[in-house]
A and B are shown apart, each in its own frame.
Chain A
Amino acid sequence: MSAAPSNDELRGLAERLVQFGRSCGADEIEVGIGDGEEFSLDVRMGDIENLIQAGSRSMGLRVIKDGKTAFASSSDLAPETLERLIRNAVKRAELSSHDPFAGLPELPDRRIDPASLDLYDPEVSELNDIIKIDLALETERVALADRRITNSYGASFGTHEIRSVLASSNGFSGEFRKTFCSLSLGLQAGETDDLVEDFWFSSETHFRDLETPEQVGRTAVERTVRQLHPRKIKTQRVPVIFEPLMTSSLLGFLFGCIAGTSIYQKASFLVDKLGQPIANDRITVIDDGLMPGKLGTSPFDAEGVPAQRTAVIEKGVLKTYLCNTYAARKLDLRTTGNSDGGGVSPNNFYLEPGPSSPEEIIRSCAKGLLLIRTLGHGLNPVTGDISRGAFGLWIEKGEIAYPVSEITISGNLGELLKNVEMVGNDLEFRGSICGPTIKVAEMTVAGE
């Protein structure tokens, strides 16, 4: 087997493959190569459980000939494999239909210097194994010291370093490096027939920003034990307060509904709603690929389009759909730099924080549900319908009264966005989709 290219040669390889594709007859070609180093450690009950260390590479490409598109990908970077895949793709493109919207983007002159985005932390790769093992062990130890905790799913520490390279026949060639690190813990409390579980995590680009083992361990304990001895409740309509992770999950659903790819396929309840109010004026949603050091930041997307800040919903009004080049052409919009190669993905997609503290929001509620976890699917982008299993804390007279389980919440995202009564000031960027606490006027909570 011929030797695979070394790291520094990856960009050269991508550029050569673009030339090779052109020489095979492709009108346009785009080649992306990823190179990753992964470290993942799980500890459980005070001992190492799993230790994974690996390096891996992958290549993905798109070929367009006569307005016909073909894709290919490989984890085998041997030149003969890559050249065969390109030759096959050029030939296979003939079998697709001519599509006037297909093709690579026209790129602006604007370029973003990856260094300005602060995406690479050398400390992540320099951490020695002893420190990593201690971080995970200490996180679990903090939690197991609490007598209310009866079992552990284990604590994990992981790092990931990636190098992304992209070259295309429209003259683009770029690369950037990015680091990730995370610390997490899952716990169980209660006895065998009355078990509750939860977890907590911290995930960052920079090691120095990661929460300490003490913080992760204590938060996981609190989140778990607060669910002990749940009660059932009667079916009723009440205000529902979403904790930040629950708002984030709701925003993930919203992202699927404002993705340009869903819109032209009519697979969203937000088709034909541009420029219209789809939420009340407390709601402003941003997608921002330029925020330094954040998990969803990158200098360019999978088509080489430079990152940008996009107001998606501004004071309740839908301003744009999030698009790759193809969806943008279908919808007569501009790409927003959200291509992930096949479809669209968020950059840093978040709900702007509001004025209220989470405590004020809870105090405002005479009776209601603080939603802390959901289970299951039950999100339908075509209708906006939401129906999920839920766990929560019941609120009475502005105070948390007791945990509730075996309930479902249901509603519709379109109605819900218009019924947000309060937005919290507690936005934190724990992932690429984030939101603060919100209070929704009324939803159906089904129980007994």
Chain B
Amino acid sequence: MSDTNLIQPVPFEDHFLLSTEDLQRTLAIALASGGDFAEVFLEYRAFNFVMMEEDIIKETAESVSLGMGVRVLSGEKTGYGYTNDLSPEKIRRAALAASAIANSPKTVASIHLRTLPLTHNFYRVGEAAHRIPLEPKIAFVKEAYLACQAADPAVKKIKAGIQDSIQFVTIANSDGLLVSDARPMVKLTCTAIAEKGVLRESGYSGGGGRVGLEYFRNARDPKDIGREAAAEAVGLLEAKDAPAGEMPVVLSPGHAGVLIHEAVGHLLEADFNRKKTSIFWDKFGKKVGSDLITIYDDPTIPAFRGSYNIDDEGTPPRKTLLIEKGVIRGLLQDRLSAGLMKMPLTGHARRQDYTDMPIPRMANTYIAAGQTPPEDIFKSVKKGFYADRFQGGQVEDSGKFTFSVSSGFLIENGRLTAPVKQATLIGSNIDILNKIEMVGADLTFSLQTGTCSKEGQDVPVMDGCPTMKITKMTVGGHT
């Protein structure tokens, strides 16, 4: 790890104009009515954005977010207050609001905060985007835009944008923890609309992660992002309607990671299991899927969009085994659920920003590579559906899920044939996990642009998987 990779968290006193004593005092106010635990979350985020559309740099934006959230835990109860005015009386009000769920006034033993030094860094930043003026970012946007435009005359409209942010967080709690992180993020995306006669289709691509601007020179060429968006839109112009009914389905490597995120990941978040709403709650240690399936969530993969040095409760994260050869082995934990379930922390407590309570979330979720060469998987399918690009998915606690496929192919006699568009895959997770009959050796990760939504909170995530075959799945198409 080189020093250039680490954006040193600015001492929190400099961003927030608060001292260690101020934080200790706030924690004491929060616990004055009782409660098991109190925590302060301080956040300062700076965000920049450039957007190109209709051949011009149409707009730029800068955004600043500053605030504090105060949380008190008492048994299964959570009290939360937040403020974006860091004056002593507003901070006191937030702490009192958080304390409202507790009702056993007591004298709090004094809290002594001790800084937790971090010895790891999962961010890979050479040129920190937030310190660089807009001009080179504009140049990257133009590269993507112009490459998309040049890719095919059928491309009629393009929208390309680059955004970067730096999020400084400081977390202090009544156990004496004081820890800070500085989380960088960049993202470049391109959307293309292609036309042919009355047909109109769109395509999308992007890249980024917890990296510096050099990523767009060394790792991911903006021109490729533009060309990929164009290729998807133009390809869809030739696509037919998707078939409908039950059939064998092959999932593309990388893009289909969203399926694991939805069908399995969410239901292994600890809160749904503690409350016994997840179909998995009584299946810990039990077999729920094929031997071929091993699933991890790993927030420590360098440079990945879903990675972080500490979670939003200040816990250093670890690679967490969720499913091993079809057997449930782990849950994604936050402090509240881990405490009540008497299980270890995994570092998966995340929040969108200081206005939100942390809840168990995924980071980088993936299915481990299998041993089958992907070509053998195709060869095994006489007639089926290849789900290539996805728009997203949704799951409910019963395990029923859906995925929207934006583009795919028919598989006929072991080969990809006609391109098809807009289909929905549905199923029940345990059923599908048992029907995964082949897992490829080609583990791939999705575009570094994904966002996951839960209880109104959006956080950046990644997911990945190898090529996989599902024996039979319902495809919802037109014909």
Contact = CB atoms under 8 A, between A and B. Distances in A.
A195 to B, nearest CB: 4
Nearest to A188: B277
B424 A410 contact: yes
A-B pairs, 3 with minimum CB distance: A408-B476, A389-B402, A376-B402
B396 interface: yes
Nearest to A43: B77
A265 B53 CA distance: 8
Contacts of A44: 275
A447 to B, nearest CB: 7
A377 B395 CA distance: 11
Interface in B44-102: 49-50, 53, 56-67, 76-87, 90, 93-94, 97, 100-101
Secondary structure of the B contact surface, majority rule = strand
Interface stretch (B113-121, B193-201, B344-352, B433-441): B193-201
Contacts of B391: 377-378
A96 interface: yes
A265 B55 CA distance: 12
Contacts of A74: 63-66
B64 A266 contact: no
- How many chain B residues sit at the interface, stated as a range, is 35 or more
Contact of A48 (B84, B101, B200, B424): B101
B422 interface: yes
Given A50-B357, A193-B279, A408-B426, A73 B193 contact: no
Nearest to A50: B78
B279 A95 contact: no
B246 A448 contact: yes
21 contacts: A51-B97, A56-B82, A56-B84, A76-B64, A89-B62, A96-B59, A151-B275, A153-B277, A192-B282, A193-B430, A197-B398, A266-B157, A377-B391, A377-B393, A387-B476, A388-B476, A389-B426, A406-B400, A410-B244, A447-B474, A448-B246
Contact of B476 (A69, A77, A96, A446): A446
B84 A88 contact: no
Contact of A388 (B84, B138, B193, B402): B402
A54 B94 contact: yes
A123 to B, nearest CB: 21
B45 to A, nearest CB: 9
B201 A382 contact: yes
Nearest to A92: B60
A47 interface: yes
A164 interface: no
Contact of A378 (B78, B191, B195, B404): B404
Interface of B: 17, 49-50, 53, 56-67, 76-87, 90, 93-94, 97, 100-101, 134-135, 138, 156-157, 159, 191, 193, 195, 199-202, 242, 244-246, 275-277, 279, 281-282, 355, 357, 391-404, 406, 421-424, 426-428, 430, 474-479
A405 interface: yes
Interface string A264-278: 011101010000000
Interface residues of A, number: 75
B193 A51 contact: no
Nearest to B53: A265
B424 A388 contact: yes
A23 interface: no
Contacts of B64: 73-76, 81, 85
Interface string A115-148: 0000000000000010000000000000000000
A92 B58 CA distance: 12
B81 A95 contact: no
Contact of B424 (A85, A378, A447): A378
Contacts of B65: 74-76
B73 to A, nearest CB: 11
A382 B196 CA distance: 13
Q: Of A56, A74, A89, A375, which is in contact with the most chain B CB atoms at under 10 Å from its CB?
A: A375
A262 B475 CA distance: 29
Interface in A184-205: 188, 190, 192-197
Nearest to B49: A71
B85 A389 contact: no
A446 B477 contact: yes
B61 A70 contact: yes
Given A75-B67, A151-B276, A444-B244, A382 B62 contact: no
A315 interface: no
A55 B401 contact: no
Nearest to B477: A410
A361 to B, nearest CB: 24
Contacts of A266: 156-157, 193, 195, 200
A97 B57 contact: yes
A339 B139 CA distance: 30
A188 B424 CA distance: 25
A182 to B, nearest CB: 13
Contacts of B85: 4, 55, 57, 77
Contacts of A265: 53, 157, 159, 193
Contact of A444 (B97, B199, B399, B477): B477
Nearest to B59: A69
B239 to A, nearest CB: 10
B431 to A, nearest CB: 9
Contact of B422 (A49, A95, A193, A385): A385
A267 B193 contact: yes
B200 A269 contact: yes
A382 B474 contact: no
Interface string A139-169: 0000000000001010000000000000000
A77 B65 CA distance: 10
Given A55-B93, A93-B60, A446-B244, 11 more contacts: A54-B94, A54-B355, A56-B355, A69-B59, A74-B65, A375-B426, A376-B393, A377-B394, A389-B424, A407-B476, A446-B245
A209 interface: no
B400 to A, nearest CB: 7
Contacts of A193: 279, 430
Q: Of A77, A382, A389, which is in contact with the most chain B CB atoms at under 10 Å from its CB?
A: A389
Nearest to B16: A1
A60 B19 CA distance: 30
A57 B84 CA distance: 7
Q: Of B61, B402, B403, B476, which is in contact with the most chain A CB atoms at under 10 Å from its CB?
A: B476
B206 to A, nearest CB: 17
B83 A51 contact: no
